[in-house]
Amino acid sequence: MNKIKHVFQNFSYDKCDEMARYFEFMALKGWHFKGWKIGMEFEQGEPEKVCYDVQVFSKGDEFDMKPSEDALDYSEYCKEAGWELVDVRGKFCVFRKMREDAIEIVPADEKLENIKQAIKEEAAWLIISVPIFLISAFLWGTGMRNHIFDNERFLIMITSMAISFFIGVKSVGSYLHVRNDNRKLKYGERPFYGNRQKYYTTSSIGVDGKKIAIVLGFIGEIVFCGIRKDYIIMHLILCAGVALIITYILTSLLRPSGKSVKQNATVGAYVIWISISIICFFAGSILGVDYDIKVAEKDVAKVQSEMPLTLNDLGIEDHTLQSYNKDCDSYGFEFSYSYELYYDQDVNMTYCVDQSSYNEILKRKWSEKVRDMKDSVEETEEELENVTKQWGATEAYYDGLQYCIRYPEKIVEIEYSEGKLTNSQIKAIREKLDL
């Protein structure tokens, strides 16, 4: 049985001739192109000089993973011209020369026109990416202050900007190449689409910027979550990552085809992705994945001494800390942390502190926090004024369960399951949290 090799080499449509030369190079080394599965699949055989031609099929679709009916009809025409279809992926059609007297598949000007059309359709992503870039830039400059403590939004924004930049640079580069090729045709010179001098090895690995950006985004999220010990988000990200990887592998191996290639591929991918996400989530639940940090009885005093605030600080010592959860975000000009403390007898306390020396940031953050709370607050303005004075704050709200307090450089949310806090407890909180 012959050996099989999978090579992850990436080519753009304006490098179709370079792709053909790559297949010829591999054939001279004894590796013959069989088609696409997980990457390009090559089968080992005798070193041989084989002539390939890679055409950009104008009726092809980016989602085509197997030859469509139009591509098969096109291949019959090419077969009469002396070329055998090897495989199809997207708009790429790979042909192997069958006869020495094989004629040119399409005229030079038609080939260039097909490449132009493919690049235009691929560059349509720019229509989506430019608004994403502009929105990202807006969020970075102004609206970002609304989400300044949210690492997930921050990472999504940076990833969107990176992908937008990559697609923009790639589209401009492709346009310049095609423009230069068009000039060559006008002067009677036959253009070569790609780099004639590029050196390859039999294990070449190409670079796909979009896939790399997605992978780096996932890795970045996992690193952030690991640093912050945010195991719930980490679990969801890992589930999504596993689902995407399995979807990619299955769609590559199964290679859906038929009259509606795009529909089969996209529907299949989403069904697989959703199914695996649900399975991973419930598997974590069944296996008892616990995102809270358990506290051993012997470690309670040590753990509590490392926390900004505990029930002991409020003079409540008849409950024992069982577990907790914490979250910390830090940027160059703001800091946020939150704790969820779970005691015995279903008693708990949670608090969150957002801190920044930029007043405008805190104002926007405050408006978000109290937007929903205002509707549920039953106290009169006079009572709310008393709550504000009680906390020595700029502004404060209490909805019967949760306090939300604003200071010049801090916003504090605190909730105690046993009810309203006394003046002495509020004083202790202010001292411990430096309010």
Question: Which class for 26: exposed (0-12), middle (13-18), buried (19 or more C-beta within 10 A)?
Answer: buried
CA distances from 270 to 100, 240, 246, 251, 296 (A): 46, 11, 11, 11, 43
Q: 354 - beta bridge partners?
A: 336, 411
- Amino acid in the structure at residue 256: P
Q: What is the pLDDT of residue 175?
A: 78
Q: What is the pLDDT of residue 327?
A: 76
**How far is residue 105's CA from residue 94's CA, in Å, rounded to a whole number?**
12
**How far is residue 308's CA from residue 183's CA, in Å, rounded to a whole number?**
70
pLDDT tens for 290-308 read 557 788 888 888 988 888 8
Q: Cα–Cα–Cα angle for 282, 286, 289, nearest 5°? A: 90
User: Tokens at residue 421, please?
Assistant: 């806090």
User: 329, 355, 343: which is closest to 416 by C-alpha?
Assistant: 343
Q: 53 - beta bridge partners?
A: 95
Which residues of the chain have a pLDDT value below 50? 141-149, 258-260, 288
**How far is residue 84's CA from residue 76's CA, in Å, rounded to a whole number?**
9
**How far is residue 270's CA from residue 221's CA, in Å, rounded to a whole number?**
22
Q: 330 - beta bridge partners?
A: 335
Half-sphere exposure of 74 (CA within 13 A, CB side): 22
pLDDT tens for 322-371 read 888 887 766 556 678 888 889 988 888 999 888 888 777 788 778 777 77
Q: Are strands 52-56 and 92-97 parallel, antiparallel or unpaired?
A: antiparallel
Q: What is the dihedral of CA 228, 231, 235, 241, to 10 degrees?
A: 10
- The answer to whether the CB of 290 falls within 8 A of the CB of 301 is no
Instruction: Give the chain as a 3 state SS string.
Output: CCCEEEECCCCCHHHHHHHHHHHHHHHHCCEEEEEEECEEEEEECCCCCCCEEEEECCCCCCCCCCCCHHHHHHHHHHHHCCEEEEEEECCEEEEEECCCCCCCCCCHHHHHHHHHHHHHHHHCHHHHHHHHHHHHHHHHHCHHHHHCCCHHHHHHHHHHHHHHHHHHHHHHHHHHHHHHHHHHHHCCCCCCCCCCCCCCCCCCCCCCHHHHHHHHHHHHHHHHHHHHCCHHHHHHHHHHHHHHHHHHHHHHHHCCCCCCHHHHHHHHHHHHHHHHHHHHHHHHHHCCCCCCEECCHHHHHHHHHCCCCCHHHHCCCCCCEEEEEEEEEECCCEEEEEEEEEEHHHCEEEEEEEEECCHHHHHHHHHHHHHCHHHHCCCCHHHHHHHHHHHCCCEEEECCCEEEEECCCEEEEEEECCCCCCHHHHHHHHHHCCC
Q: 31 - beta bridge partners?
A: 44
Q: Cα–Cα–Cα angle for 285, 288, 293, nearest 5°? A: 115
Residue 40: phi and psi, rounded to 5, are: -80, 135
Residue 286: phi and psi, rounded to 5, are: -65, -40
**How far is residue 132's CA from residue 167's CA, in Å, rounded to a whole number?**
12
